[in-house]
Chain A
């Protein structure tokens, strides 16, 4: 059987295509399939995940490869579609496949009985396909296409319960807001294409590294691409859509708004990282936006009372963290944090979903003591929360430590201090959630609740395990332990094949980060569990600040005001201009001229015969005079 071998990298394209196939099948025949075709989706994702493991194996024992083919040709310009298989994409492939699969299984329970159960899985498959395509793309064209389709998938999933006005509005808001970023992305891509004449990312990166692109153009294009990332990764100022997107079913939030879609922005920056390195000033912008976002979102996460919204702001904050890392040259750190974050944040959302599923409530003030009725949820949620807080040896600890390290190394003390503050805040809000939701006494209204079914808890346990151990991949002994070739030690050396990056154990940094995490957790325990400091008292003391934060810094209101007042008013103005000036004056006016002229001119026929005669005589005289004079 020499012709038969395990599928390798050349089969990677199958993963997105399978999911797309699942989408088509379920859309067309989903209602007639058993279980609404959910198993079609799950098996497609499962096979995809399996495939990504084979691809990973292939990659580990060979070297990165890329594939491309011509999609079509437009008058001499070839539009190629290409796929790259390097550590970054394969890692993302695995993460996306895994989370998608887990969430789909979870959804079997969560979405059970929904009238559009089948459509849910169809949209899910579409999204997974787009996301898998996105991470595989070695080509701006394909990347942009997948990028947009990801947006579509998220639109469909956020707006899944479209009967709710709020869901419909949230879906719209998400799509439009990210679309603003996409405008930048597309412009950036086309600017680069104009210079390089190719959509291939690798070749563009080479050109940028070789200095073939004028620095002004490069910076502009890079920042425009970053705008796309800002939109997708919900960075300030385009972060407003993410909290609203919680209107979608909770597993969707876990998939899209924790693990995959929002990470796409970070992925994009990582993928095009050489551009950012080559473009003067680009990294600074990335870092500043990341830092600002992470602080901004962390404060909001602290005051929100809706469980999912807290998680949403926390996501924004963590994404800001990743951006900050990228801006600080912490490429490995960012990608690593992306991965661990995907696991624990998905888990958090699934936990929140589990809570919601049984209590039917989202307001954390109405919860409390849930640990008594939902032990599995509580434990997994706690693991994830602590991982996020950065408690060793959970996954978040390692990745966050990497980020802090990168910032420490490459940024000034002020930024580093602020980063630490953000880390503290994240520990604090996670502690708040933990203690308010699961700690304390069970409210009587919640007396009836019970643990979610196995189909939901099992995925949570899987993710819990990953949240627990995935951080260890950073350790330099992780590679050898798994029996990988010698050049692979920790994840850093995997991601940076050529200039192997070892895990930097910086004891001081590790200690201080642990201390910060503990401080945050302790603060949370003190405030929300013990009540030593009453949160109400704090908010009363800082009432104006609290009000500002509670109102999301009024940014949503500002944007809403701008779109509703300014944009709509402007559009009304244009429409009015169209009707009154162009149509009524220009069109009807011009058309009215002959009508008017005819209406006046008709009276030259007075009905009096001698007038007619006079006109003839005068006509003759005038013609003769004119003929003589001209």
Chain B
């Protein structure tokens, strides 16, 4: 078993563990931390997939921004107290649905001929260049998306001046 494979299993396990923690933990703060674990492991997986830039982005955006925002939100909404129930009554059904879908997806992965696998590194420079040439339009749109989200967050979350 190669080292990369071991690494993959480790990262994968951490990722899934984090995921499970997010959905199963009884304390919201723990959930947030588990999420961080999972997201960071995903960044590790990106490295395994030789997507270095993506790993960086992942750590920066998710590990930094998103998690912190989430923690803020959790604190602002004061749901940190231990007594609150976090799961809803349809939990068993949710489990059945998720498992069923998982089985389907695994079967799909297993039975689909994915074609010749020739892993190859993506050059960071090429990626960067294409992002601003080939993908200029989506890039522009994405910027508008961020702007809109900003405006929306401001409008919606900002306390009214007149109150």
B101 touches A614 (CB 8 A): no
User: Of A608, A621, A624, A625, which is within 8 A of B97 by CB?
Assistant: A621
A621 touches B104 (CB 8 A): yes
Given the complex, which residues of B lie within 8 Å of A621, measured CB to CB? 97, 100-101, 104
CA distance A614 to B101 in the complex (A): 12
Rounded to whole Å, the gap between the CB of B98 and the closest CB of chain A is: 7
Given the complex, which residues of A lie within 8 Å of B90, measured CB to CB? 610-611, 614
Rounded to whole Å, the gap between the CB of B43 and the closest CB of chain A is: 27
Given the complex, which residues of B lie within 8 Å of A620, measured CB to CB? 101
State whether the Cβ of B77 lies closer than 8 Å to any Cβ in chain A: no
CA distance A31 to B94 in the complex (A): 93
State whether the Cβ of B88 lies closer than 8 Å to any Cβ in chain A: yes
State whether the Cβ of A618 lies closer than 8 Å to any Cβ in chain B: yes
Given the complex, which residues of A lie within 8 Å of B82, measured CB to CB? none
In this complex, how many residues of chain B approach chain A with their Cβ under 8 Å: the count is 9
Rounded to whole Å, the gap between the CB of B69 and the closest CB of chain A is: 21
Given the complex, which residues of A lie within 8 Å of B98, measured CB to CB? 617
B97 touches A618 (CB 8 A): yes
State whether the Cβ of B93 lies closer than 8 Å to any Cβ in chain A: yes
What 0/1 pattern do residues 592 to 613 of A give for CB contact below 8 A with B?
Answer: 0000000000000000101100
CA distance A620 to B97 in the complex (A): 10
CA distance A620 to B104 in the complex (A): 10
Given the complex, which residues of A lie within 8 Å of B93, measured CB to CB? 614
The residue in chain A whose Cβ has the minimal distance to the Cβ of B91 is A610
Given the complex, which residues of A lie within 8 Å of B94, measured CB to CB? 610, 614, 617
The residue in chain A whose Cβ has the minimal distance to the Cβ of B94 is A614
Given the complex, which residues of B lie within 8 Å of A618, measured CB to CB? 97
Rounded to whole Å, the gap between the CB of B91 and the closest CB of chain A is: 9
A624 touches B104 (CB 8 A): yes
Given the complex, which residues of A lie within 8 Å of B97, measured CB to CB? 614, 617-618, 621
Residues of chain B from 82 to 112 with CB closer than 8 A to chain A in the complex: 88, 90, 93-94, 97-98, 100-101, 104
CA distance A614 to B90 in the complex (A): 9
Rounded to whole Å, the gap between the CB of A397 and the closest CB of chain B is: 108
CA distance A620 to B98 in the complex (A): 11
Given the complex, which residues of B lie within 8 Å of A617, measured CB to CB? 94, 97-98, 101
CA distance A618 to B104 in the complex (A): 12
What 0/1 pattern do residues 195 to 224 of A give for CB contact below 8 A with B?
Answer: 000000000000000000000000000000
Known interface pairs A614-B93, A614-B94. Does A608 touch B101 (Cβ–Cβ under 8 Å)?
Answer: no
CA distance A611 to B94 in the complex (A): 9
Given the complex, which residues of B lie within 8 Å of A614, measured CB to CB? 90, 93-94, 97
Given the complex, which residues of B lie within 8 Å of A610, measured CB to CB? 88, 90, 94
CA distance A608 to B90 in the complex (A): 11
The residue in chain B whose Cβ has the minimal distance to the Cβ of A606 is B90
The residue in chain A whose Cβ has the minimal distance to the Cβ of B87 is A610
CA distance A396 to B94 in the complex (A): 108
Residues of chain A from 37 to 85 with CB closer than 8 A to chain B in the complex: none
Rounded to whole Å, the gap between the CB of A615 and the closest CB of chain B is: 10
The residue in chain A whose Cβ has the minimal distance to the Cβ of B105 is A624
Rounded to whole Å, the gap between the CB of B27 and the closest CB of chain A is: 20
CA distance A608 to B104 in the complex (A): 27
Rounded to whole Å, the gap between the CB of A103 and the closest CB of chain B is: 96
CA distance A219 to B88 in the complex (A): 88
The residue in chain B whose Cβ has the minimal distance to the Cβ of A609 is B88
6 more A-B contacts (CB under 8 A) besides A617-B101, A621-B97, A621-B100? A610-B88, A614-B93, A614-B94, A617-B98, A618-B97, A620-B101
16 inter-chain pairs at a CB distance below 8 angstroms, sorted by A residue, are: A608-B88, A610-B90, A610-B94, A614-B90, A614-B93, A614-B94, A614-B97, A617-B94, A617-B97, A617-B98, A617-B101, A618-B97, A620-B101, A621-B100, A621-B101, A621-B104
